[in-house]
């Protein structure tokens, strides 16, 4: 696939395949969140899902932005570890090594893909402005949506970073209590 095809369209089905898989998962998760609204109060997750799904649907209509979509969907890697962590939590195993490991893997994958990777993706997107600036107005809306998603990831990234620091301090840098000295 040429650089231009990565922004204005493509001839392979691989991006469509990954888009469809991520859309299927996010639609299921969005419906789960809506169904459990009385006990699940994370409005930012709902915003993320609706925003991501809208971008995916537009991507599927004309196979635009396959290159940016690659880094966007790669950011969802952290969801695997988030779900694994959730299973440990609901099984009341928050003190287990599995919970700790999935928490660390979630934080690392989130910060690497949704903060660092997303940042690099924006650099690439804006560096190739000439390839997509004259495309349909819908793509400008997609770019705006990508920026909103990035702001959301930065908001979450601060929380993820703080939680990771707390976990590392608790697990590996625990300071002996005064009575232990």
Summarised one tens digit per residue, pLDDT across range 115-163 is 999 999 999 999 999 988 988 888 889 899 999 999 999 999 999 999 9
The b/e string for 2-18 (b: 16+ C-beta within 10 A; e otherwise) is eeeebbbebeeeebeeb
pLDDT at residue 11, as a whole number: 60
State the pLDDT confidence band at 179, using cuts at 50, 70 and 90.
low
**What is the structure's pLDDT at 175?**
58
- Full-model pTM: 0.83
The whole-angstrom separation of Cα 181 and Cα 175 is 10
> CA 53, CA 68: separation in Å to the nearest integer?
15
Q: Which two tokens stand for residue 166?
A: 């707390």
pLDDT in tens, 42-79: 899 999 999 989 988 887 777 778 788 888 888 889 99
pLDDT at residue 22 greater than cutoff 70? yes
- CA gap 180, 10 in Å, rounded: 64
């Amino acid at each position: 696939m040429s650089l231009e095809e990565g922004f204005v369209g493509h001839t392979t089905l691989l991006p469509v395949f990954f888009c469809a898989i991520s859309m299927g998962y996010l639609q299921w998760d969005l419906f789960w969140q809506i169904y459990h609204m009385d006990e699940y109060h994370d409005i930012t997750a709902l915003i993320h899902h609706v925003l991501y799904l809208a971008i995916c649907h537009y991507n599927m209509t004309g196979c635009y932005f396959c290159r940016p979509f690659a880094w966007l969907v790669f950011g969802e890697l952290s969801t695997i570890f988030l779900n694994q962590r959730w299973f440990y939590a609901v099984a009341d195993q928050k003190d287990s090594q599995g919970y700790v490991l999935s928490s660390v893997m979630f934080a690392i994958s989130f910060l690497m893909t949704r903060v660092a990777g997303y940042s690099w993706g924006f650099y690439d997107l804006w560096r190739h402005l000439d390839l997509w600036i004259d495309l349909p107005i819908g793509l400008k809306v997609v770019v705006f949506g990508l920026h909103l998603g990035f702001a959301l990831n930065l908001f979450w990234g601060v929380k993820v970073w703080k939680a990771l620091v707390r976990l590392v301090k608790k697990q590996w840098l625990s300071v002996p209590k005064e009575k232990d000295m």
